[in-house]
Chain A
Amino acid sequence: QSVLTQPPSVSAAPGQKVTISCSGSSSNIGNNYVSWYQQLPGTAPKLLIYDNNKRPSGIPDRFSGSKSGTSATLGITGLQTGDEADYYCGTWDSSRGGVFGGGTKLTVL
Protein backbone atom coordinates (compact mmCIF):
# COMPACT_ATOMS: atom_id res chain seq x y z
CA GLN A 1 0.00 0.00 0.00
CA SER A 2 1.41 3.35 -1.07
CA VAL A 3 2.10 6.17 1.37
CA LEU A 4 0.37 8.59 -1.01
CA THR A 5 -3.19 7.71 -2.06
CA GLN A 6 -4.38 8.20 -5.62
CA PRO A 7 -7.56 6.95 -7.30
CA PRO A 8 -6.77 3.84 -9.38
CA SER A 9 -8.48 5.24 -12.44
CA VAL A 10 -10.20 8.30 -13.88
CA SER A 11 -11.86 8.88 -17.22
CA ALA A 12 -13.28 11.71 -19.29
CA ALA A 13 -14.16 12.52 -22.87
CA PRO A 14 -11.83 14.27 -25.31
CA GLY A 15 -11.79 18.01 -24.77
CA GLN A 16 -13.00 17.72 -21.19
CA LYS A 17 -11.16 18.35 -17.92
CA VAL A 18 -10.05 15.80 -15.35
CA THR A 19 -8.45 16.05 -11.93
CA ILE A 20 -6.34 13.46 -10.13
CA SER A 21 -5.98 13.65 -6.37
CA CYS A 22 -3.03 12.67 -4.21
CA SER A 23 -3.56 12.40 -0.47
CA GLY A 24 -0.80 12.19 2.10
CA SER A 25 0.06 13.40 5.57
CA SER A 26 2.05 16.01 7.45
CA SER A 27 5.20 13.89 7.15
CA ASN A 28 5.16 14.12 3.37
CA ILE A 29 2.86 16.37 1.32
CA GLY A 30 2.08 18.61 4.28
CA ASN A 31 5.67 19.77 4.55
CA ASN A 32 7.31 19.13 1.17
CA TYR A 33 6.93 19.89 -2.50
CA VAL A 34 4.88 17.61 -4.73
CA SER A 35 5.77 16.54 -8.26
CA TRP A 36 3.70 14.76 -10.90
CA TYR A 37 4.75 12.31 -13.61
CA GLN A 38 3.15 10.90 -16.73
CA GLN A 39 4.07 7.40 -17.86
CA LEU A 40 2.99 6.25 -21.30
CA PRO A 41 2.92 2.48 -21.84
CA GLY A 42 6.39 0.97 -22.14
CA THR A 43 8.22 4.25 -21.52
CA ALA A 44 10.02 5.99 -18.68
CA PRO A 45 8.10 8.50 -16.55
CA LYS A 46 8.04 12.13 -17.65
CA LEU A 47 7.98 15.10 -15.29
CA LEU A 48 4.82 17.20 -15.64
CA ILE A 49 4.76 19.34 -12.49
CA TYR A 50 7.34 20.15 -9.82
CA ASP A 51 7.30 22.29 -6.68
CA ASN A 52 3.53 21.74 -6.44
CA ASN A 53 2.55 23.88 -9.42
CA LYS A 54 5.48 24.60 -11.74
CA ARG A 55 5.73 23.22 -15.26
CA PRO A 56 9.06 22.32 -16.87
CA SER A 57 9.69 23.88 -20.25
CA GLY A 58 7.85 22.02 -22.97
CA ILE A 59 4.92 20.94 -20.81
CA PRO A 60 1.72 22.58 -22.09
CA ASP A 61 -0.36 24.74 -19.79
CA ARG A 62 -3.17 22.19 -20.10
CA PHE A 63 -1.41 20.54 -17.17
CA SER A 64 -1.60 22.22 -13.77
CA GLY A 65 -0.85 21.36 -10.18
CA SER A 66 -2.00 22.56 -6.80
CA LYS A 67 -1.52 21.68 -3.16
CA SER A 68 -3.59 22.31 -0.08
CA GLY A 69 -2.62 20.98 3.32
CA THR A 70 -1.79 17.29 2.98
CA SER A 71 -3.33 16.83 -0.49
CA ALA A 72 -2.33 17.69 -4.01
CA THR A 73 -4.18 17.73 -7.30
CA LEU A 74 -3.17 17.38 -10.93
CA GLY A 75 -5.50 18.99 -13.46
CA ILE A 76 -5.59 18.28 -17.18
CA THR A 77 -7.78 20.34 -19.48
CA GLY A 78 -8.58 19.88 -23.16
CA LEU A 79 -8.09 16.12 -22.90
CA GLN A 80 -6.50 14.38 -25.86
CA THR A 81 -6.28 10.69 -26.67
CA GLY A 82 -2.52 11.04 -26.33
CA ASP A 83 -3.00 11.87 -22.64
CA GLU A 84 -4.00 8.29 -21.92
CA ALA A 85 -1.32 7.15 -19.48
CA ASP A 86 -0.54 6.40 -15.87
CA TYR A 87 -0.01 9.42 -13.62
CA TYR A 88 1.99 9.44 -10.38
CA CYS A 89 2.44 11.98 -7.62
CA GLY A 90 5.67 12.04 -5.64
CA THR A 91 7.24 13.79 -2.70
CA TRP A 92 9.64 13.30 0.21
CA ASP A 93 8.56 11.71 3.46
CA SER A 94 10.48 12.58 6.63
CA SER A 95 10.40 8.93 7.78
CA ARG A 96 10.43 6.92 4.58
CA GLY A 97 12.41 8.98 2.07
CA GLY A 98 11.12 9.38 -1.47
CA VAL A 99 7.53 8.26 -1.92
CA PHE A 100 5.12 7.93 -4.85
CA GLY A 101 1.41 7.45 -5.10
CA GLY A 102 0.10 4.15 -6.39
CA GLY A 103 -0.65 5.67 -9.78
CA THR A 104 -3.81 6.64 -11.63
CA LYS A 105 -4.74 5.28 -15.04
CA LEU A 106 -6.33 7.95 -17.21
CA THR A 107 -8.71 6.81 -19.92
CA VAL A 108 -9.87 9.28 -22.55
CA LEU A 109 -13.21 7.91 -23.69
Chain B
Amino acid sequence: EVQLVESGGGLVQPGGSLRLSCAASGFTFSSYWMSWVRQAPGKGLEWVANIKQDGSEKYYVDSVKGRFTISRDNAKNSLYLQMNSLRAEDTAVYYCARDTTRIAVADQYFQHWGQGTLVTVSS
Protein backbone atom coordinates (compact mmCIF):
# COMPACT_ATOMS: atom_id res chain seq x y z
CA GLU B 1 0.00 0.00 0.00
CA VAL B 2 1.32 3.41 -1.00
CA GLN B 3 1.80 5.72 1.98
CA LEU B 4 2.98 9.32 2.11
CA VAL B 5 3.36 10.83 5.57
CA GLU B 6 4.20 14.50 5.94
CA SER B 7 5.70 16.09 9.02
CA GLY B 8 7.36 19.32 10.10
CA GLY B 9 4.49 21.76 9.92
CA GLY B 10 3.68 24.22 12.67
CA LEU B 11 3.48 27.86 13.67
CA VAL B 12 6.32 30.11 12.55
CA GLN B 13 6.83 33.87 12.57
CA PRO B 14 7.07 35.85 9.34
CA GLY B 15 10.62 35.64 8.03
CA GLY B 16 11.20 32.33 9.73
CA SER B 17 12.04 28.89 8.34
CA LEU B 18 10.58 25.40 8.39
CA ARG B 19 11.59 22.10 6.85
CA LEU B 20 8.85 19.74 5.77
CA SER B 21 9.48 16.04 5.34
CA CYS B 22 7.52 13.33 3.54
CA ALA B 23 8.20 9.68 4.30
CA ALA B 24 7.23 7.41 1.41
CA SER B 25 6.55 3.69 1.47
CA GLY B 26 4.83 1.00 -0.55
CA PHE B 27 6.41 1.88 -3.91
CA THR B 28 9.80 2.36 -5.56
CA PHE B 29 10.36 5.95 -4.50
CA SER B 30 13.34 6.52 -6.78
CA SER B 31 11.21 5.83 -9.87
CA TYR B 32 8.82 8.74 -9.41
CA TRP B 33 8.76 12.48 -9.79
CA MET B 34 7.54 13.94 -6.49
CA SER B 35 5.70 17.17 -5.79
CA TRP B 36 4.55 19.47 -3.03
CA VAL B 37 1.07 20.96 -3.40
CA ARG B 38 -0.45 23.40 -0.92
CA GLN B 39 -3.92 24.62 -0.03
CA ALA B 40 -4.52 27.83 1.87
CA PRO B 41 -7.47 27.78 4.31
CA GLY B 42 -10.72 27.80 2.35
CA LYS B 43 -8.87 28.11 -0.97
CA GLY B 44 -7.99 25.89 -3.91
CA LEU B 45 -4.99 23.74 -4.71
CA GLU B 46 -1.66 25.31 -5.64
CA TRP B 47 1.28 23.32 -6.99
CA VAL B 48 4.46 24.42 -5.22
CA ALA B 49 7.41 22.44 -6.55
CA ASN B 50 8.51 19.13 -8.02
CA ILE B 51 11.69 17.12 -8.37
CA LYS B 52 12.79 14.51 -10.87
CA GLN B 53 13.52 10.92 -9.95
CA ASP B 54 17.27 11.48 -9.56
CA GLY B 55 16.98 15.05 -8.28
CA SER B 56 18.53 16.50 -11.44
CA GLU B 57 15.56 18.72 -12.28
CA LYS B 58 13.54 20.91 -9.96
CA TYR B 59 10.72 23.32 -10.73
CA TYR B 60 8.98 25.90 -8.54
CA VAL B 61 5.95 28.16 -8.66
CA ASP B 62 7.08 31.77 -9.07
CA SER B 63 5.87 32.85 -5.63
CA VAL B 64 8.35 30.57 -3.83
CA LYS B 65 11.38 30.77 -6.12
CA GLY B 66 14.47 31.75 -4.16
CA ARG B 67 12.79 30.99 -0.82
CA PHE B 68 11.85 27.30 -0.99
CA THR B 69 14.06 24.35 -1.91
CA ILE B 70 12.79 20.90 -2.76
CA SER B 71 15.07 17.90 -2.28
CA ARG B 72 14.92 14.15 -1.92
CA ASP B 73 16.89 11.28 -0.43
CA ASN B 74 16.17 8.13 -2.41
CA ALA B 75 18.11 6.00 0.07
CA LYS B 76 15.73 7.13 2.81
CA ASN B 77 12.59 7.22 0.63
CA SER B 78 12.07 10.79 1.71
CA LEU B 79 11.05 14.11 0.16
CA TYR B 80 11.78 17.48 1.73
CA LEU B 81 10.77 21.11 1.38
CA GLN B 82 13.01 23.71 3.00
CA MET B 83 11.00 26.89 3.41
CA ASN B 84 12.83 30.15 4.23
CA SER B 85 11.70 33.77 4.48
CA LEU B 86 8.18 32.61 5.18
CA ARG B 87 5.29 34.99 4.61
CA ALA B 88 1.71 35.08 5.83
CA GLU B 89 0.55 34.04 2.37
CA ASP B 90 2.50 30.78 2.72
CA THR B 91 0.00 29.66 5.38
CA ALA B 92 -1.53 26.45 4.05
CA VAL B 93 -1.82 22.71 4.33
CA TYR B 94 1.15 21.27 2.44
CA TYR B 95 0.62 17.94 0.69
CA CYS B 96 3.29 15.57 -0.54
CA ALA B 97 2.13 14.00 -3.79
CA ARG B 98 3.47 11.16 -5.89
CA ASP B 99 3.85 12.20 -9.49
CA THR B 100 4.59 9.88 -12.42
CA THR B 101 7.40 7.60 -13.54
CA ARG B 102 7.58 9.41 -16.86
CA ILE B 103 10.64 11.35 -17.95
CA ALA B 104 8.85 14.46 -19.18
CA VAL B 105 7.93 16.87 -16.40
CA ALA B 106 4.84 17.99 -18.30
CA ASP B 107 3.16 14.59 -18.13
CA GLN B 108 2.32 15.02 -14.49
CA TYR B 109 -0.58 13.79 -12.45
CA PHE B 110 -0.86 12.93 -8.76
CA GLN B 111 -2.22 9.48 -7.97
CA HIS B 112 -1.26 9.44 -4.32
CA TRP B 113 -1.34 12.19 -1.70
CA GLY B 114 -0.33 12.42 1.92
CA GLN B 115 -2.69 13.65 4.64
CA GLY B 116 -1.02 17.07 4.65
CA THR B 117 0.78 19.13 7.26
CA LEU B 118 -0.39 22.60 8.31
CA VAL B 119 2.02 25.51 8.13
CA THR B 120 0.88 28.72 9.82
CA VAL B 121 2.91 31.88 9.37
CA SER B 122 1.88 34.46 11.93
CA SER B 123 3.31 36.72 14.60
Taking Cβ atoms with an 8 Å cutoff, the residues of A that contact B are 2, 31-33, 35, 37, 39, 44-47, 50-51, 56, 86, 88, 90-92, 94, 96-103
Contact = CB atoms under 8 A, between A and B. Distances in A.
B106 A96 contact: no
A109 to B, nearest CB: 23
Nearest to B45: A100
Contacts of A102: 44
B91 interface: no
B47 A47 contact: no
**Most chain B beta-carbon neighbours within 10 Å: one of A56, A97, A98:** A98
10 contacts: A32-B106, A44-B116, A51-B109, A86-B44, A90-B47, A96-B61, A97-B50, A98-B59, A99-B47, A100-B44
Contact of A56 (B47, B107, B111, B114): B111
Interface residues of B, number: 24
A98 B115 contact: no
Interface of B: 35, 37, 44-47, 50, 59-62, 95, 105-116
Contacts of A37: 45, 110
A45 B110 contact: yes
A51 B106 CA distance: 11
Contacts of B115: 44
Contacts of A50: 109, 111
A48 to B, nearest CB: 10
Nearest to A57: B111
